[in-house]
């Protein structure tokens, strides 16, 4: 059974290595997460696969995402690298495969790598296909190449200090779900006074308020944590209802503070 929508929160695994990654995935699944996000570049697919296998949760109940790194975008490389990812993840398919970053300086034409991604989907290596870190113009081009309704998500950085509004709204207008990575701005949300104040009102943590705010925008947050208590708190954040005033106050925290900005990134919107 293929998932028709993205589960409404995921467990991110960026920067989790070795046994930490293995245990974090296992613990997240035991707490009720059903969406695990990894990537070739995280160098932890094998451990993520171990965590899934040892969790006791049937594979068909887990939505698993991986991402193709930008040195594997030529058509033959892409398919081969995805086969390698599946072997590391100990599965015959993933639920979603993303292009992790658009090809730097368009070195590989988008038609080539998106075409290869669609081929991977037709071969049954992945149920859904999507993109990550694509700008509005790149999303338009991707939809032009693959057609409406084929791109499951654009995964981009979203947190209270980078609302990324233009990209989020454009993706949603094109019918793509947005997945928001780094929703806690690598822990910076904990220090913000506005978020602390709102958190007190809800008997919650600033991290939970940040996740609730991301989710209130129809964005799927994928926070990363190795601690079961934090994982559970992140899951519980989906039950927090923010008032319109609170949402407006958090909206005002946007200062365009981008954390993931490598030299090969596209020209951001």
Active centre residues (catalytic): 42
Beta strand 63-68 with 94-99 is: parallel
CB atoms within 10 A of CB 149: 10
Q: Are 28 and 2 in contact (CB under 8 A)?
A: no
Query: Can you give the three-state secondary structure of the chain, one letter per residue?
Result: CCCCCCCCCCEECCCCCHHHHHHHHHHHHHHCCCEEECCHHHCCHHHHHHHHHHHCCCHHHCEEEEEECHHHCCHHHHHHHHHHHHHHHCCCCEEEEEECCCCHHHCCCHHHHHHHHHHHHHCCCEEEEEEECCCHHHHHHHHHHHCCCCEEEEEEECECCECCHHHHHHHHHCCCEEEEECCCHHHHHHHCHHHHHHHHHCCCCHHHHHHHHHHHCCEEECCCCCCHHHHHHHHHHHHCCCCHHHHHHHHCCCCCCCCCCCCCCCCCC
């Amino acid at each position: 059974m293929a998932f028709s929508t993205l589960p409404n929160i995921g467990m991110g695994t960026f920067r989790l290595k070795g046994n930490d990654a293995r245990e974090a995935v296992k613990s997240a699944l035991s707490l009720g997460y059903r969406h695990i996000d990894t990537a070739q570049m995280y160098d932890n697919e094998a451990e993520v696969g171990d965590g899934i296998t040892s969790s006791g949760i049937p594979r068909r109940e887990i939505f698993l995402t991986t991402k193709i790194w930008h040195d594997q975008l030529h058509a033959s490389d892409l398919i081969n690298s995805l086969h390698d990812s599946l072997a590391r993840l100990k599965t015959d398919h993933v639920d979603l495969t993303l292009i992790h970053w658009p090809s730097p300086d368009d070195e590989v034409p988008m038609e080539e790598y998106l075409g290869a991604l669609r081929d991977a989907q037709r071969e049954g290596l992945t149920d859904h296909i999507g993109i990550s870190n694509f700008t509005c113009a790149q999303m338009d081009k991707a939809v032009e190449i693959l057609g409406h309704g084929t791109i499951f998500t654009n995964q981009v950085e979203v947190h209270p200090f980078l609302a990324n509004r233009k990209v989020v709204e454009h993706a949603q207008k094109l019918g793509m779900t947005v997945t928001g990575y780094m929703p806690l701005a690598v822990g910076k949300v904990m220090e913000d006074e506005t978020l602390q104040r709102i958190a007190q009102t809800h008997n919650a943590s600033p991290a939970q308020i940040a996740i609730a705010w991301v989710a209130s925008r129809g964005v799927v947050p994928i926070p990363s944590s190795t601690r079961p208590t934090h994982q559970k708190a992140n899951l519980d954040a989906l039950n927090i209802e923010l008032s319109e005033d609170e949402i407006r106050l958090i909206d005002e925290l946007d200062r365009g503070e981008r954390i993931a900005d490598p030299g090969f990134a596209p020209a951001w919107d």
